[in-house]
Structure formats: C-alpha cells, structure tokens
Amino acid sequence: MQALMHQVLSGLANGGIYASVALALVMIYQATHHVNFAQGEMAMFSTYVCWMLLQAGLPYWLAFILTLGFAFTAGVAIERIIVRPVEQAPVLTVVVVFIGLLIIINSLAGWLFSYTIKAFPSPFPSNAWYGSPFMSPHEVGMIFVTMVVLALVFAFFRFTPLGLAMRAAAQNPVSSRLVGIRVGWMLAMGWGLAGLIGSVAGMMAAPIVYLDPNMMGGILLYGFAAALVGGIDNPWGAVLGGFIVGVLENVAGAYVVGTELKLTVALVIIIGVLLVKPSGLFGRVLVTRV
C-alpha cells in the first residue's frame, strides 16, 4: 500500500512536468493549429542556459528567473524569424519546419555543450523538512513550482487585458485586428509564453533525468499524450491530462509493464485516445446559435 502511495505521489510530481509541456503545446496549438514538435528541445536548450548561469556562480533562483526571460525571448524570436514566414504555408511545410527546428536545436546544444550527460542541481535540499518517505523534497518542490507557474499563466489569461487579447487573437484574428489588436505580436507572445512554461518543465526535470541534449525526448511524448488526453484545444484539460499521464505511467511502470517499457505507456495512451475519443476527455464542444 505504501509502495503504491509512493508511486502515485511521485507520478503526480512527474505529472506536473508533463502538464507544463502539454500546456505549452496546447497554447501554440490553439493559436495556430500546429503541434510544435520542437517544444521539448526549446526547453532543453533553456535548461542548458540555466546550467551555464549556475556554472558562472549565480544563485539558483536568479538563474531560474533569467532563464525564464531567455526562454520567453527565444520563443518570441523563433516565431518572428522562423515560423512567421511559413504562416500561410501548407500544414506539411510547417511540420517539416518544426522537425527541422527540433534537430537544429538538438544539434546546436550537442555542439555547444557536448553530448556528455551532466548533473543538474535541485534547488530543494535533500534533507528539507517537506521531504517524506512518499516524496523526495525535489518532487514536492517540483509540484509546487509547476503549480505556481500554471496558476500564474491562467491568472494572466483570465484577468489581464493582454491575456484577453491573446485569447481573442487565437480565436478570431480578423475581428481582433478590427479592435486594434496587433495579432502578429500576440502570436509571438504566445510562443514566448509557451517557451517559458516549457523551460520550467526542463529545469524541474533535469535533476531527475539529468541534463543532456536528448533529455526532453521522452518528456515531450508524455506531454503530447497529456495534451491529447485532456483535449488538445483545452488548457485545463491538458494540465489535468498531465497529472493523469504522470500517475498512469508510474503505476503502470511499477506494476504492469515494468520500468523498461514505461515510455510505451505514453504511446499506448496516444493511440488509445485517438482511436476512442479523438477530442480528448475534456475537449470542448462550442455552443453556437445562428
């Protein structure tokens, strides 16, 4: 029983990571109807930036915040420079651009930082009071940090004029222009925010999976599964999906398929959702009267 409890709780901790990645995917999907395959690599690169700042001797939380700034700026820049020119292109073109981006960022990280696996520190000391037999301090801290970030993101979209404008621009670009919203910049901001959320996932995951250019491969798959479970057009669903996938993966890994086949769980979930309920568990049905 205690072991199951442990599996569920640490699944929730991983779920926070998947939830963040899923939310980043959903944000870009809502605005552009494309899945950003490079989301994980963007997060990985940001994590390397954090690692560099830490190597330079900066305190953890300062490095963390600077990394958020970097991730946001990089997201905006990628949208403006690389994605903008293919905005009107057919979907396959965009897919190829995203895959190209994935490979470029991955190779760039390998070239700059080498493929050697590096340890990445956790800001939560291993003997902290909030540790328990069920969850390590890092897992507790990880849940806390991801929850805070997700709450801030939702508050931003719900309560600020800029957040409202970004939702409007994603939904109805033509009408948004007619009320004076600069739609292009809103899309770029969406990429920036997605990059920022992803970088949190990267920095929180790195102490567990270690830092290397391929660290986000599996996590992106889980994040994608989470987004599909929740319904790829529903941010709340994506977050919930993240926690569901986290727990399923851990429990299945411990009791059903074994740790070696854990990643298969994500793939099974993806195929299962697409076969049975393509709109996801919480996919929104829009009510419209004409």
Partner 1 sequence: MSARAILETRGLYASYGPTRVLQALELAVPAGGIVTLLGANGAGKTTTLRAICNMMVRCAGEIHFAGQRIDGRPTEDIVRLGIGHVPDGRGTFVSLTVEENLRLGAYTRRDQQVAQDFERVYAYFPRLKERFRQQAGTLSGGEQQMLAISRALMLRPKLLLLDEPSFGLAPLVVQEIFRILRAINRQEGVSMLLVEQNASIALELADQAYLLETGRIILAGPSSVISSDESVRRAYLGY
Residues that bind partner 1 (CB under 8 A): 161, 164-165, 167-168, 171-172, 174-183, 286-290
CA 221, 251, 209, 145 torsion: positive or negative? positive
Q: Measured in whole angstroms, how far is the alpha carbon of residue 256 from the centre of its chain?
A: 27
Q: Which is nearer to partner 1, 276 or 289 (CB)?
A: 289
Kindly state the smallest distance separating residue 177's Cβ from partner 1, in Å: 4
Q: Which is nearer to partner 1, 73 or 171 (CB)?
A: 171
Q: Which is nearer to partner 1, 129 or 289 (CB)?
A: 289
Phi, psi of 174 (to 5 degrees): -65, -50
**Using the 8-state DSSP alphabet, how is residue 58 labeled?**
-
Q: Which is nearer to partner 1, 7 or 176 (CB)?
A: 176
Kindly state the smallest distance separating residue 202's Cβ from partner 1, in Å: 31
Kindly state the smallest distance separating residue 181's Cβ from partner 1, in Å: 6
Q: Which is nearer to partner 1, 56 or 290 (CB)?
A: 290
What distance in Å separates the CA atoms of residue 246 and residue 130, rounded to the nearest whole number? Answer: 21
Cβ-Cβ contacts under 8 Å for 79 (sequence gap 6 or more) = 187, 188, 190, 191, 192
Q: Which is nearer to partner 1, 127 or 288 (CB)?
A: 288
What distance in Å separates the CA atoms of residue 124 and residue 141, rounded to the nearest whole number? Answer: 6
Kindly state the smallest distance separating residue 173's Cβ from partner 1, in Å: 10
Q: Exposed, middle or buried, 129 (CB in 10 Å: 0-12/13-18/19+)?
A: exposed
Query: 């700026």: which residue's tokens?
Result: 73
What distance in Å separates the CA atoms of residue 280 and residue 232, rounded to the nearest whole number? Answer: 7
What distance in Å separates the CA atoms of residue 213 and residue 261, rounded to the nearest whole number? Answer: 22
Kindly state the smallest distance separating residue 175's Cβ from partner 1, in Å: 4
Cβ-Cβ contacts under 8 Å for 99 (sequence gap 6 or more) = 37, 38
CB 109 within 8 A of CB 44: yes
Kindly state the smallest distance separating residue 277's Cβ from partner 1, in Å: 21
Kindly state the smallest distance separating residue 164's Cβ from partner 1, in Å: 6
Q: Which is nearer to partner 1, 66 or 168 (CB)?
A: 168
